[in-house]
Structure 1
């Protein structure tokens, strides 16, 4: 087997592994931020804010008949 080809293949594998690790770290960071936001929201006594977070589409429109 050609040593240059083997070296290129190993380096390509390392780059792919580093990219995957970077994406996973970003996902973990986002999950931690969301978890902190949920904990903060749940610790408040504002029921309306909790309900709006759970169902943000409710209460946005009003049907009127004239």
Structure 2
């Protein structure tokens, strides 16, 4: 059994997994931020006084 090789392989796997988790966390954070920005834009675009009346006497 080659203990140093197994140790290096385990360390590489752990690093790879940590990098993957970090990238997923960054993507999640970015998605959350974009969703919050979209909600703010939608809230600002609401104009409740528009569309309440329709003048059809032309």
Shorter-normalised TM-score: what interval? 0.7 to 0.9
Tell me the residue number matched to 1:45.
45
Distance 1:19 1:42 in 2: 35
RMSD between aligned residues: 1.5
- Stretches of 4+ moved more than 4 A in 1? none
CA displacement 1:10-38 (0-9 Å, x = unmatched): 00000000000000010001000000000
Q: Rg: which structure is higher? A: 2
Distance 2:5 2:15 in 1: 15
> Partner of 2:45: helix, strand, or coil?
coil
What TM-score results when the alignment is normalised by the length of structure 2? 0.75
Q: Which has the higher contact order (CA 8 A, sep 6+)?
A: 1
Number of equivalent positions: 47
What TM-score results when the alignment is normalised by the length of structure 1? 0.66
Consecutive unaligned residues of structure 1, counting only runs of 5 or more, are: 48-66
